[in-house]
Amino acid sequence: MRITILKMVLAGLLSLPMVGVATAQDSTRQLIEVESLGPQIGEQAPNFSLPDQNGQIHTLESIMGPNGAMLLFHRSADW
């Protein structure tokens, strides 16, 4: 019985119109050119020279292994 009521409530919520959700036709939103944001998936990363948390300098060449390398950029909450 509880599951049926829960399903009915969820179905009702999902059928409500989405108020305040921006659409593609929303003229106040600015289109973003993803290509201008940096290297895209599968592209070669540019050469770099950056320190790690211990001050040791790393370059693209220094982290490259026999199968390549995967770079992950994570934005910290305290930036």
């059928």: which residue's tokens? 15
Full pLDDT tens readout for the chain, 79 residues: 566 676 666 666 666 565 555 555 656 778 888 878 877 888 888 888 989 899 999 999 999 999 988 877 777 776 5
Neighbouring-strand partners of residue 51: 57
d(CA 54, CA 79) in angstroms, rounded, equals: 18
Please spell the DSSP secondary structure of 15-27, one letter per residue: TS--TT---TT-T
Residue 7 Cα distances to 12, 18, 19, 75, angstroms: 9, 19, 22, 37
DSSP 33: -
pTM summary value? 0.43
